[in-house]
Amino acid sequence: MKKVILCFSILFLSLVALTGCKKKPKLYLLNWNEYLNGDLVKKFEEQFDCKVVQLASESNEDMYTVISNGQYPVDIAIPSDYMIQKLANEKLLNQLDFSKMSNYQSDMFDENLANLRASYFEGNESYAVPYFWGTIGIMYNDRTPGLEEVIQQNGWDVFFDETLVDKNQVKMGMYNNPRDAIAVAELYLGYSLNTTNSDELTNVQNLLVKQNQTFDVKYAADDLKKWVAGGLNLDFAIVYSGDFFDQLYILEEDGSDQYINMYVPDNTNLYFDAMVIPTTSKNTDLAYEFINFMLDTDNIVENVSYVGYCPCTKLAIEALQNDEYYADLLEKYPVFYPGNTKNGEVYRDLGDDIYRRLTEIYNAGRNA
């Protein structure tokens, strides 16, 4: 009898050991750097007994490469508008089953964003669920004498007109990806951000070449916001709106004086990022749970407090408006809400041939 009990005990302990060693399911998340509150990741992992594997990216083009080459079983990605277009056109995204997301409601999104998405995707929004939206603008250090006035009076001209800023004293920053760097030149020249006109693209290239030959230009991604906020490496730079508010949060938390600001000219890029499920997904049910989790209003607001971008749902925006800190922020910095943008244009997928041309233009300008 003791032997039987002993054998049963050994079997039970073995099963417990095996259960304890069971690997947790993994959710592969392809996302931008510093674009998700780590506390929410832990909360999701605990709630669904899983492990979130985050793959960091610095550009939409990087995301495309990761998804298209199939190196990782990406379950969730958070690309921007035009890249969603491209991925969907190339059948690299799953159409979403919205019935699997209890927090999803077709009328839950901000009206301005909803109208923008409907016109952009021409009524077919079945591949993506909005995550954040924003604009690009000029982040600057307002301790630099006279810089704030020059930027607010001249907008994008400060990146190219050497009569506006001292080229020997003022340092500027440009994003190190073709689409955003070229956009600054297109906005200055008054062209569409989606132009495919050969003569216009040649003019853009010549302008970027001249810019790099004239000014002290630094190319980077996430470092741009940090360099302007640091007040040493850069005086001003093109940044995404959320990057400015991310740095503003940090300065406030550190108790530092606020010495950065952001100006968004009337003509700018308006963008939205969204959650998609690539065809590489191996854990699609968990991917739906993640999207549903991120659509919870409390989770959205918690994410905003870390990331700095504007939420997409009406309830989350309303929650911010009812919060004393964010009510003051929205009044002081109206650029936080992209719906205030007067003349924003969304990037569109222009096809591989044009993108190769944009890469050539970017390289020519940067290496001039």
DSSP string, 70-121: TSS---EE--BHHHHHHHHHTT-BPPP-GGG-TT--TT-B-HHHHHHHHHHT
> How far is it, in rounded angstroms, from Cα 269 to Cα 342?
11
What band does 34 get if pLDDT is binned at 50, 70 and 90? confident
- 358 closest CA partner among 166, 222, 183, 226: 183
Q: What stretch(es) of the chain map to CATH 3.40.190.10?
A: 25-132+271-339, 134-270+346-366
- 27 closest CA partner among 44, 9, 11: 44
Q: What is the pLDDT of residues 58-97, one digit of tens each?
A: 889 999 999 999 989 999 999 999 999 999 999 999 999 9
Q: What is the pLDDT of residues 155-206, one digit of tens each?
A: 999 999 999 998 888 899 999 999 999 999 999 999 999 999 999 999 999 9
What is the per-residue pLDDT for 197? 98
CATH topology of domain 25-132+271-339: D-Maltodextrin-Binding Protein; domain 2 (3.40.190)
Instruction: Using the predicted structure, report yes or no on whether residue 276 has a pLDDT greater than 50.
Output: yes
What is the per-residue pLDDT for 347? 96
> How far is it, in rounded angstroms, from Cα 78 to Cα 341?
23
Q: What are 122's two structure tokens?
A: 């021409």
What is the per-residue pLDDT for 361? 98
Report the DSSP pairing between strands 267-275 and 129-141.
Answer: antiparallel
User: At how many degrees (to 10) do helices 178-189 and 352-366 cross?
Assistant: 80
What band does 123 get if pLDDT is binned at 50, 70 and 90? low
**311 or 230, which is more confident?**
311
Q: What is the mean pLDDT of residues 313-337?
A: 95
Instruction: Name the superfamily (CATH) of residues 134-270+346-366.
Output: Periplasmic binding protein-like II (3.40.190.10)
Q: What is the pTM of this model?
A: 0.88
> How far is it, in rounded angstroms, from Cα 8 to Cα 133?
59
End-to-end Cα distance, the chain: 86
